[in-house]
Amino acid sequence: MVQPKFDTKVQELKYRVLKEVAISYDRGTLMEDIVDIPKRIAPGPKPTMRCCIYKERAIAAERVKIAMGGDKNNPNMLEIIDAACDQCPIGGMEVTDACRGCLAHRCAQNCPKKCISFGPELHAHIDKSQCVQCGMCAKNCPYQAIIKRVRPCEASCKIKAIHARPDGIAEIDEGKCTRCGACSYACPFGAIVDKSYILNCIDILKDCKAGKCKAYMIVAPSISSQFHYAKLGQVVTGIKLLGAHEVVEAALGADMTAYDEAKELAEKGELTSSCCPAFVHYIETSFPELKEKISHNLSPMARIAQWLKQNDPDCKTIFCGPCIAKKMEQFEPNKNAPYVDCIITFEELQALIDAYQIDLPTLEEKPLDNASYFGRIFARSGGLRDAVAQALKERGIEDFDYKPVNVSGLDGCRTALMQMKNHTLQGNFIEGMACFNGCIGGPCCLTHELRDAASVDKYGRESKENTIKGALLPVLGPLN
């Protein structure tokens, strides 16, 4: 069987735990196997990842708990495994060996806290207890000998929602966190992990196989940039072998969202997108004065799930994508909770496929042809922008002066939102995505490669429908 490709060994470790948990749960022995799974992950006798085999197994045991749903008392989708955190000592302004002990002492002269001193060897020293990390010393050093080091998890979080506790363990600020998951992918030790609902997914698929319900697997359009070792049609076949009644494109929900969002934009005159839950949460927590600017339309995931439930109230819906924040969206009672029954990631889908010993490259291809070109390109930054432009055209709203601004990454989102707040935005519609380059940069993608955006566009061009109305007509009937 072809081994799945992951960007990092951390992802591979996470996958191995998920796979073992899925195998044990499927055969009904998970509770008996809880003690044994860490030993399968770290068989020993010599450690391969940590200082000793016992620490490896202790961390694996924590991973098993998170794979089973994690801490129910923790409202965040992200959990920090204390034992796995390296307590990175890296942080703050540091003087490197490039320091020449010069006479000018511009670093000290420009330090507002006067926390730089010079010892007998004339090398600069920074008193970190007084340093406020303003960077003035680094800016003024003629040798660029002073640099700012940041822990990987902190560097990845553009809204400063993660920091070190006094003991060095990472800690998440719940008031700021958007659940984007950038820190989980950035942590080199895999200490930050997203809760898994893979067991719930297995239950739904088993019920579908037993004829108790119809289970629909809704796949994010970014799936076209994943599973490079197999064809997309083979992945669709594999999902159906898992037990799904049908595989549906979330891109069809994207067509619905874009069509409705265009009308809302024209009516309100200024809007932000509602597709990325981390972006929406960021507005709600950091820019509450802009909450009314958020589109009232459901996200593509929720919109297509809503349509499925309207046509079959007893069906079950499972969403699969690259996003951790989507798992939070599942529990929002006023938005998506009635429509989406379970959410898993591409990493978890890969674990399920291998747990059931499904060899994707050997399977026949089954079509996935629900959506239009415009719905499919939602997966990359700029896709929603183009889809709304198309929807305005198809609705005949040609007198509206459409000025989109597409941004990705929370730092880019912050800039655009600040401009909207201050009425200096050179546009009237913000397409905001928390992950860099859009959903193809999601933390739970199997790979993050340069070719992923090209894969999405190629997938879009393969659509049978080149218009949004053309994709929606078979499911919604004639549109206004």
Instruction: Quick: pLDDT tens for 19-29.
Output: 999 999 999 99
Q: Give helix 198-209 / helix 346-355 axis angle, nearest 10°.
A: 50
pLDDT at 306: 94
In percent, the amount of the chain with pLDDT more than 90 equals 81
Quick: pLDDT tens for 105-124.
Answer: 999 999 999 999 998 888 99
C-beta atoms surrounding 382 within 10 Å? 18
pLDDT at 330: 80
pLDDT at 217 over 80: yes
Bridge partner list, 94: 147
pLDDT at 172: 96
Distance in angstroms between the alpha carbons of the first and the last residue of the chain: 50
User: Which amino acid is located at 329 in the chain?
Assistant: E
pLDDT at 369 over 90: no
Quick: pLDDT tens for 311-337.
Answer: 999 999 999 999 999 998 887 766 656
Quick: pLDDT tens for 371-396.
Answer: 999 999 999 999 999 999 999 999 99
Which of 74-83, 88-97, 163-172, 220-229 has the weakest average pLDDT?
A: 88-97
Beta-carbon contacts of 201 under 8 Å, excluding residues fewer than 6 positions away, are 318, 342, 344, 348, 352
Which of 106-120, 125-139, 148-162, 327-341 has the weakest average pLDDT?
A: 327-341
pLDDT at 334: 62
pLDDT at 13: 94
In percent, the amount of the chain with pLDDT more than 70 equals 97
Q: Average per-residue pLDDT in the chain?
A: 93
User: Which amino acid is located at 95 in the chain?
Assistant: V
Confidence label for 3 from pLDDT (cuts 50, 70 and 90):
low
Smallest Cα–Cα separation from 351: which of 222, 206, 238? 238
Quick: pLDDT tens for 284-318.
Answer: 999 999 999 999 999 999 999 999 999 999 999 99
pLDDT at 451: 65
Smallest Cα–Cα separation from 57: which of 88, 81, 79? 81
pLDDT at 4 over 70: no
105, 118 in Cβ contact below 8 A?
yes
pLDDT at 325: 94
pLDDT at 479 over 90: no
Over residues 451-463, the mean pLDDT reads 85
> CA 437 to CA 125: how far, in whole Å?
40
pLDDT at 228: 87
Confidence label for 92 from pLDDT (cuts 50, 70 and 90):
confident
Q: SS in 3 state form for the chain?
A: CCCCCCCCHHHHHHHHHHHHHHHHHHCCCHHHHCCCHHHHHCCCCCCCCCCCHHHHHHHHHHHHHHHCCCCCCCCCCEEECHHHCCCCCCCEEEECCCCCCCCCCHHHHCCCCCCEEECCCCCEEECCCCCCCCCHHHHHCCCCCEEEECCHHHHHCCCCCEEECCCCCEEECCCCCCCCCHHHHHCCCCCEEECCCHHHHHHHHHHHHCCCCCEEEEECHHHHHCCCCCCHHHHHHHHHHHCCCEEEEHHHHHHHHHHHHHHHHHHHCCEECCCCHHHHHHHHHHCHHHHHHECCCCCHHHHHHHHHHHHCCCCEEEEEECCCHHHHHCCCCCCCCCCCCEEEEHHHHHHHHHHCCCCHHHCCCCCCCCCEHHHHHHHCCCHHHHHHHHHHHHCCCCCCCCCEEEEECHHHHHHHHHHHHCCCCCCCEEEEECCCCCHHHCCCCCCCCCHHHHHHHHHHHCCCECCHHHHHHHHHCCCC
pLDDT at 338: 83
